Structure 1
Amino acid sequence: MMAKNSKFVIADDHPLFLRGLADFLHQLGYNDIIQSHNGADALQKIVDHHPDFAVIDIQMPYLSGIEVAQKASDQSPDTRIILISYHKDPVIVKMAIELNVSAYILKEDALYELKNCLDELLKGNSYFSSKILGYSEKNIENDNYISFLTPTEKKILRLIGQEMTSKDIAKEYGVSIRTIEKHRSNIIEKLSLEGTPTSLIMWAKKNKTIL
């Protein structure tokens, strides 16, 4: 299959961005482009037309880009999904990786990166924005650590990140300071942190996006 004969479904609920995306693909020489303005319609078009590529915004009405990717993998498995988003949320990136989407690029750089993305996909490779991976890899690694924390430990860690003392947290939960100190000790052990007075608060502040 020649690259320029590739069929696309593109979906975004912002008309100006959608038009700009279509115009850019036309400039690259792609002409078989089907447009959609929401997630549910995008999924239906993918199922009906089995495009080679689907460029899907993550945040859309009715179905999110993640949901579209998940459902499309069963109903149109040969369609390569390219997710676009303004967000670098490590949880969403992790979900995309687990769904085996072909690409994930930042919306702010979409037109700049899309050509390189398609070049890589046509070679059989995947493509993730370097900005996304640079931001997410450490957070995804830390997310594996916090999966071992109990719900109570996660709540306490969030409060520690807000610079609340053990006394403040004990008062908040109506328990003894000794109980909170025991939780702190368990959290430090689970996160493999140094037992210094500031190690826990520094970790909590640095990783507040995954707590």
Structure 2
Amino acid sequence: MRVILADDHTLVRKGLIALLDDTDIQVVGDAEDGREVLEKAAQLEPDVVVMDISMPSLNGLEATRQLKKSLPKTKVLILTMHSNEEYVYETLRAGASGYLIKRSAPRELIAAIKAAHRGEYFLSPSISATVIQKYLQQAAGDSEPAPPGFTALTPREREVIQLIAEGLSNPQIADQLCVSLKTVKTHRSNLMEKLDLHNTAEITRYAIHTGLISVD
């Protein structure tokens, strides 16, 4: 089984590599941000990608969404400190096969990777089983829609809000996303209206609060 590990903390990546070294799981690559994950996955075509949500340049949620479009057979396991139910729903919708909290025991990570490889879903035991039930109800249209917020943003708006919070200017964002400056301004205006945000400082606070970026 071939795996790529993605986390913006070098010590975390090295620790995970050491943990998996004594198993039948082969770590074929590692990455420190979402865009590097996509590049390495395209080159190496791993069986499973294990990644955090809070990563620079492109967060794990959007990286998952893009990865599943380009490599639908590759499984994605989210390994993060965030236990927010909204993130669980969104990563499942994006195509992830599992969601594990970083404080989980090492054996749970190994079990989660193997479960994902088998085509099964795996949730951290600390996340209530009702999360899956609620997600399935939402997918079937049996529950009320989620309130406006992060889920109201388009994938591109989520990329833009992260890059704004990371300090990039509109021209820099346009260059990184390969879109026009006008398009960036439109996305910026739309996301601010949806989230009722009024300036860059509020956008940054929102991104930190929701875990799109980390402050460490």
Per the TM superposition, whether the score is higher than 0.5 is yes
The one-letter amino acid of 1:82's match is L
Which of 8, 14, 37 lines up with 2:9 in the alignment? 14
Question: Could you tell me which amino acid in structure 2 is paired with residue 93 of structure 1?
Answer: V
Q: Match of 2:154? A: none
Which one-letter code corresponds to 1:121 in the other structure?
A: A
Aligned to 2:57: 62
In structure 2, C-alpha distance between the alignment counterparts of 1:32 and 1:85, rounded to whole Å = 18
For residue 42 of structure 1, what is the amino acid of its counterpart? V
TM-score, with length taken from structure 1: 0.60
Higher relative contact order (CA 8 A, sep 6+): 2
CA deviations over 1:108-154 (Å, ceiling 9, x no partner):
11623111113323433111112223474688689x5464x799xxx
Structure 1 residues not aligned, in runs of 5+: 1-5, 152-208
State how 1:70-109 maps to structure 2 within 5 Å.
70-109=65-104
Q: Answer yes or no: is the 8 Å Cα contact 1:12–1:38 preserved in 2.
A: yes
Summarize the Cα distance change of 1:82–1:137 in structure 2 as closer, same or farther, 3 Å threshold. closer
Question: Cα 1:118–1:139, aligned 2, differ >3 Å: closer, same or farther?
Answer: closer
Label 1:69 to 1:150 Cα distance change in 2 as closer, same or farther (>3 A).
Answer: closer
Alignment partner, residue 203 of structure 1: none
Instruction: Give the residue type in structure 2 aligned to 1:75.
Output: S
Q: How many residues align?
A: 146
CA distance in 1, matches of 2:132, 2:68: 24
Q: Distance in 1 between matches of 2:118 and 2:36?
A: 29
User: What is the rounded CA distance, in whole Å, between the counterparts of 2:30 and 2:50 in structure 1?
Assistant: 10
Q: Which has the higher helix share?
A: 1
Structure 1 SS opposite 2:5: strand
SS at match of 1:63: coil
Distance 2:74 2:105 in 1: 19
Structure 2 gaps of 5+ residues are: 150-209, 211-216
Which residue does the alignment assign to 2:172? none
Identity over aligned residues, as a percent?
24
Q: Secondary structure at the match of 1:54?
A: strand
SS at match of 1:130: coil
- Separation in structure 1 between the aligned mates of residue 133 and residue 84 of structure 2, nearest angstrom: 12
For residue 29 of structure 1, the aligned residue among 14, 19, 24 is 24
Which residue of structure 2 aligns with residue 113 of structure 1?
108
Q: Distance in 1 between matches of 2:66 and 2:95?
A: 12
**Structure 1 residues 94, 18: CA separation in 2 closer, same or farther (over 3 Å shift)?**
same
Between the aligned partners of 2:107 and 2:69, the Cα distance in structure 1 is 30
- TM-score, normalised on structure 2? 0.59
Q: Secondary structure at the match of 1:108?
A: coil
Structure label with greater radius of gyration: 1
Q: Quick check: 2:97–2:121 contact (8 Å CA) kept in 1?
A: yes
**Structure 2 counterpart of 1:14, one-letter code:** H
Shift of 1:11: 0.6
